[in-house]
A and B are shown apart, each in its own frame.
Chain A
Amino acid sequence: MADTKKFLYVNRKAPYGTIYALESLEVVLIGAAFEQDVSLAFLDDGVFQLTKGQKTDGIGMKNFSATFRALGDYDVNKFYVEKESLEERGLTEADLQEITYEDENDDWAEKPSIRFVTRAEMADIMSEQDVVLSF
């Protein structure tokens, strides 16, 4: 499609303390209908958005962490997570929830959506985009 552009959604903020992470996710969900080449970048405090075991009963807010797992159904399956950002925050890959998608080009095999990348690789990914949206 001639109008397809590479969109990168940059997530650098933690969830709940501010609304940015939630409203950013709402853009990704709507944007999925536009059939663009979408990637999500999680770096700095943005990596906290993907941790497992979030329970929001005690703060009276909607737990939106499960919504990330639904994005694969909308062909949003490139989640780039920066390794250095995890390490700086005392996290490992095992602290993040598992997010998968079914690869239509590989007999619908279930594959991980999260790809762990170095800071240098993240810089490369940013430099390959047409549109960078940050919130």
Chain B
Amino acid sequence: MKIGVVVNEGPYTHQAADSAYRFVKAALEKGHEVSRVFFYHDGVNVATRLTIPPQDERHIQKNWSALATEHGVDLVVCIAAAQRRGILDANEANRQGKDADNLAEGFRISGLGQLIEMGVQTDRLVVFGD
């Protein structure tokens, strides 16, 4: 079955990004296809590569990045929500004249159309938020 996932909250403050991660791992292990995870609202903050959690804590961004590199899960960060919150890839930083970018490996920035397209193309959509 094709499953799409939406993450609406950032890391650490809310459990949503953790719950979504464990759900996606379990779905992949059961042989389902998780074709895309869409990060919206504060969920875009999961995608900054600049987080430094204490060493004995889970690294939420790295966990997600690993899902992209190891399982090919498409991690899409909403561009409108990302710009509001200062999440930029190198192209966008350059285009906006910013002196830094912070998008982590495995994530890509794109439009809200990717969320709707995911709803159209998947069999099930699961939303994690607050």
Contact = CB atoms under 8 A, between A and B. Distances in A.
Interface string B83-117: 00000000000000000000000000001110111
A17 B96 CA distance: 29
Interface residues of A, number: 18
A5 B117 CA distance: 11
Contacts of A26: 80, 112
Contacts of B8: 20, 135
Interface in A77-125: none
B41 A19 contact: yes
Contact of B129 (A27, A36, A131, A135): A135
B66 interface: no
Interface residues of B, number: 17
B68 interface: no
B113 to A, nearest CB: 6
Nearest to B122: A131
A30 B78 CA distance: 12
A66 interface: no
Contact of B119 (A19, A20, A131, A134): A131
A5 B120 contact: yes
A133 to B, nearest CB: 7
Interface in A25-65: 26-27, 30-31, 33-34, 36
B67 interface: no
B6 interface: yes
A30 B112 contact: yes
Interface string B1-16: 0000010100000000
Contact of B127 (A3, A5, A23, A133): A133
A36 B40 CA distance: 21
Interface of B: 6, 8, 40-41, 80-81, 111-113, 115-117, 119-120, 125, 127, 129
Given A23-B41, A133-B125, 5 more contacts: A23-B81, A27-B112, A30-B113, A34-B116, A135-B40
